[in-house]
Copies of this chain bind each other. A is one copy, B any other.
């Protein structure tokens, strides 16, 4: 069987951790891959632990004992977070994005995996110590952010549908009032998609009145789930009073001047300190 050099093992370990953050890998697993003694692996992990800390990537936690293992918990440094939020503002505020009626075209950004991976890094970094069991979102535009946050936190995602589909099996449906338009809408979630008593994080792309997030929170009560947090990529400054109280937005849309082609969007100041 092949043997690997130390710096090869370090590189491979870092790849494995980076591709599956928040997942506990056993020393046995690494031993088999690298054909190396557990004591060797343990030294390798110690080196990786130090490098993760020195390069401000977050932390490696080790679990000792016979069932020992290690997990990479990414926690974003202030500089990286500020850079990501600034570059998001730049993207979203481009004047060509203004659509007639004062809407902003954002779909390409919310479907860009590279950009949304950065969004997911910011969100997951904020909630990595909250013992989340599942991410909740509602179709369609919030799905990429939810999936990539789930990837970072190593948890499943449950997608609430606007319609009831035959392929979802038994569903729970609720009616809710959209915060901004006062329309009554329906949302459905498959009963199989979420275990009772889960701790959930709600993720969505955009919050104006907060009606959709409130609807998702109401739906969670039907599953006896606890909403541990709510994260949205963009919130509008107006109305200041939303239908949900505790939520984290990455960016704040202060206003649009359609005539002059100005979109005023800034990072959420809470994330910059």
A156 is contacted by which of B101, B106, B108, B155 (Cβ under 8 Å)? B108
Q: Which segment of A6-14, A220-228, A229-237, A249-257 sits at the interface?
A: A6-14
Main secondary structure on A side of the interface with B: helix
Residue numbers in B under 8 Å from A114 (CB-CB): 20, 23, 151, 154, 156
Residue numbers in B under 8 Å from A50 (CB-CB): 8
Cβ of A148 within 8 Å of any chain B Cβ, yes or no, is yes
By beta carbon, the residue of chain B nearest A194 is B108
Check B113 against A190 for contact (C-beta < 8 Å): no
A167 is contacted by which of B13, B57, B103 (Cβ under 8 Å)? B103
Which interface class (under 10, 10 to 19, 20 to 34, 35 or more) fits A?
35 or more
Residue numbers in B under 8 Å from A168 (CB-CB): 105, 107
Contacting B at CB under 8 A, from A116-162, are 116-117, 139-140, 143-144, 147-148, 150-151, 154-159, 161
CA distance A7 to B47 in the complex (A): 8
Residue numbers in B under 8 Å from A148 (CB-CB): 113, 147, 151
Check A7 against B10 for contact (C-beta < 8 Å): yes
Binary interface encoding of chain A residues 45-57 relative to chain B, with 1 for a CB under 8 A from any of its CBs, else 0: 0011011001101
| Least CB distance, A255 to chain B, in whole angstroms | 17
Cβ of A241 within 8 Å of any chain B Cβ, yes or no, is no
| Least CB distance, A161 to chain B, in whole angstroms | 7
Cβ of A67 within 8 Å of any chain B Cβ, yes or no, is no
Chain A residues with a Cβ under 8 A of chain B: 2, 4, 6-8, 10-15, 17-20, 23, 47-48, 50-51, 54-55, 57, 99, 101, 103-108, 111-114, 116-117, 139-140, 143-144, 147-148, 150-151, 154-159, 161, 166-169, 190, 192-193
A105-B190, A111-B157, A114-B151 known; 11 other A-B pairs, CB under 8 Å? A11-B51, A12-B51, A12-B55, A12-B57, A19-B19, A19-B117, A107-B190, A111-B158, A112-B150, A113-B151, A147-B147
